[in-house]
Structure 1
Amino acid sequence: MTIGLNKTVVLFGGSGFLGRYVARALARRGHRIRVACRRPDLAYHLQIAGNMGQIQPIQANLRYRWSIDRAVEDADHVVNLVGILAESGRQSFDAVQHFGAKAVAEAARGVGAGLTQMSAIGADPHSESAYGRTKAAGEAAVLDTIPDATILRPSIVFGAEDQFFNRFAEMSRFSPVLPLIGGGKTRYQPVFVGDVAEAVAGAVEGKVPGGRIYELGGPEVLTFRQMMEEMLRVVDHKRGFVSIPFGAASTMARAMRFLPGAPLTEDQVALLKVDNVVSDEAKAEGRTLEAFDRMPRSLDAILPTYLIRFRPQGQFTRPQTHAGGLDAENQDGVV
């Protein structure tokens, strides 16, 4: 274990997909991590990522300010990873991504701690999506409260526990076709979860200037369809695609809104209408993953390490050259 600056870092949302990687990245640097989440029992598994007592799960809820203040006591830095893709009960976009982010920033300011806020490339005050609007409102509230806070906006994040490639790979085992909302033309810049976690750790240690918004993307820009084709190549399945116009997708989502765990919401359909890639402005100003001295890893390098279990015979399947991936003339996936 590398002993670094030994900061006390409070990690809100640390029990989630990205959180476990951030906790490991911080533990490797010798920091003490307090994982603040609604269900501390769901974060106990993180304790083995550090030395004895280095990672401590505690209870906190962004809807209750007193629990936030308690969580950040004596903290040197606060990281807020909390976000939702669909509303549920009192967990609304406003409550979690706007007012929750503001409350964390105010609590961090109260103890003199630095702040790193996880946002998303889809953050836009004029977005058709409530997700995008509240992410942007959260960013504004954070920077208004702590002007030198660091904001990170990743594109779609992939890794062993993701709910994107794993979900569609599972679907490809049983369904002869995969859905392409809006024809699958929306562009993404998928970024590996480990690279995002290293960027968070770099922000905690002050490796980049604060008061800026950094956009994190991988080395490839791919359409939704191309990502599905790459996934199918990795899992060695041949499947067709069915294009679903945005209007029809919204109608379907509206019909499913009362179902528990609905697979699609109207808000998500709205998000799918807009490209999710690193902006030219961020590239020109050096506000990208490269600012953290990271060379982003590609889908081709990472997907086989965890999607192999979806192949017909698992790791014993001999992959075919053309199982639904990108064609040879377009291996970079640029539209």
Structure 2
Amino acid sequence: MLSTAASRASLARVLASQKRGLHDIVNIPGRPAVSNGPPGRSATTGHVVTVFGCTGFLGRYLVSKIAKSGTQVIVPYRDEDEKRHLKVMGDLGQIVPMEWDLRRPDQIEECLRHSDTVYNLVGRDFETKNFDFKSVQVDGAESIAKIAASAGVSRFIHVSHLNADKDSKSKFYQAKAEGEEKVKAAFPNATIVRPAVMYGYEDRLLNNIAIWSVWWKLNNAQTKIRPVHVMDVAQALTNIFSIPSLPGTLNLPGPSTLTYDYLLALLSTVTYNPPSRAPVVPKPVAAFLAKVAQNVWWPALSPDEVERRYINDSDVSGDWDKVGVVPTEIEDNALLYLRRYRSAENFVRPVVLPPSRENPVSANLEL
């Protein structure tokens, strides 16, 4: 009896000194270390994953794919309404929302101390009075990586950008490159993922081209980019989770190199709208207007984004084979994301039949 009581007291002292969860240090007799259930949402993989930046564009698709396999996902959020759509992506109790602030190390630790894998998707496309590029993509990334290493997290996956370069003219790309170095120093076995600009339902590529086409004609719309489907990137990040170890840097560009001029033509073709007649705005004028727009609550364009419109995407080869994903072409998904911009007038326009051998001239049929 005394030995049992002593052992319980000893276990209590050990648990009190630990920062991780009970399931991380105690193996319950008679139960497997990793339990399983039926395939799908009701499964239990035994893993716990934290996804910082889960409320962003890429984060929602990553959370959905990870939770679908039965993994418990910690979803840190800043605004109460930003995480509501994530709750239904997993089974009961598998999506755990936790409020956090990037400037609070104690909240960061609370969000990841029970996890065995941490994803860092935090980033900003433009600077604000509270968060600039350095505070988010350099200091923030370093803080998360250091806390993850000290908490004993086994895997750290950091999402950067294909054009990350410390010598770039863009502060955004400079901060991405500096953030990579900080993460590698704090977590040497981290996996750095570099996707190109992504497109999807809530993207800032196709949607912005459809609404603000004038800002995509900078540099005469000849800037070369390699857009990638957000679902392909989310699947690649999900596959990395199942690979035991994959340190280093992975480049995930799109399968084709395109220009903004081509994307403008593609949008016009898919939406049945005439090509944009907006003039080409000179770079100094665009930079000035973007600087003025910074005083607006939601700027349409930032000065650094103007600079990025003149920078071609890196021509490095992709590492898709390492993550078992074949990227799709943007033309295969353009209709899915651009259909909403078709005008209702399309339903009353005359139908143009293609020419045939019997009728070599196209015929117009009024609806």
Q: Deviations over 1:261-282 (max 9, x none)?
A: 2212211112222112441xxx
Corresponding residue of 1:259: 296
C-alpha displacement of 1:226? 1.0
Q: Secondary structure at the match of 1:274?
A: coil
Q: Distance in 1 between matches of 2:165 and 2:212?
A: 31
C-alpha displacement of 1:90? 1.4
Corresponding residue of 1:215: 251
Correspondence 1:295 to 2:326: yes
**TM-score, normalized by length of structure 1?**
0.86
Q: Distance in 2 between matches of 1:158 and 1:134?
A: 22
Correspondence 1:143 to 2:163: no
| Letter of the 1:219 counterpart | P
Q: Distance in 2 between matches of 1:232 and 1:4?
A: 46
Q: Distance in 1 between matches of 2:285 and 2:262?
A: 22
Q: Distance in 1 between matches of 2:232 and 2:315?
A: 15
| Letter of the 2:257 counterpart | V
Q: Summarize the Cα distance change of 1:13–1:191 in structure 2 as closer, same or farther, 3 Å threshold.
A: same
2:203 aligned to which of 147, 162, 166: 162
Corresponding residue of 2:268: 232
| Letter of the 1:217 counterpart | P
Q: Summarize the Cα distance change of 1:226–1:74 in structure 2 as closer, same or farther, 3 Å threshold.
A: same
Preserved CA contact (<8 Å) 2:216 2:309: no
Q: Summarize the Cα distance change of 1:315–1:153 in structure 2 as closer, same or farther, 3 Å threshold.
A: farther
Q: Distance in 2 between matches of 1:110 and 1:76?
A: 12
1:1-335 to 2 correspondences below 5 Å: 1-2=39-40, 3=43, 5-113=45-153, 114-171=155-212, 179-206=216-243, 209-210=246-247, 212-239=248-275, 240-279=277-316, 283=317, 288-313=319-344
Query: Number of matched residues?
Result: 310
Q: Summarize the Cα distance change of 1:49–1:314 in structure 2 as closer, same or farther, 3 Å threshold.
A: farther
Q: Secondary structure at the match of 2:145?
A: helix
Q: Distance in 2 between matches of 1:142 and 1:226?
A: 36
Preserved CA contact (<8 Å) 2:216 2:260: no
Q: Distance in 2 between matches of 1:251 and 1:22?
A: 37
Q: Secondary structure at the match of 2:126?
A: coil
Q: Distance in 1 between matches of 2:94 and 2:253?
A: 30
| Letter of the 1:8 counterpart | V
Q: Secondary structure at the match of 1:108?
A: helix
C-alpha displacement of 1:133? 1.1
Q: Secondary structure at the match of 2:333?
A: helix
Q: Summarize the Cα distance change of 1:306–1:317 in structure 2 as closer, same or farther, 3 Å threshold.
A: farther
Gap runs ≥5 in structure 2: 1-38, 354-367
Q: Distance in 2 between matches of 1:103 and 1:181?
A: 36
Q: Secondary structure at the match of 2:291?
A: helix
Q: Summarize the Cα distance change of 1:243–1:208 in structure 2 as closer, same or farther, 3 Å threshold.
A: farther
C-alpha displacement of 1:258? 2.2
C-alpha displacement of 1:290? 2.8
Q: Distance in 2 between matches of 1:305 and 1:70?
A: 39
Q: Distance in 2 between matches of 1:37 and 1:317?
A: 46
Stretch moving more, 289-298 or 244-253: 244-253
Q: Secondary structure at the match of 1:11?
A: strand
Identity %: 29
Corresponding residue of 2:5: none
Q: Summarize the Cα distance change of 1:306–1:44 in structure 2 as closer, same or farther, 3 Å threshold.
A: same
Taking CA–CA contacts closer than 8 Å with sequence separation of 6 or more, which of the two structures ends up with the larger relative contact order?
Answer: 1
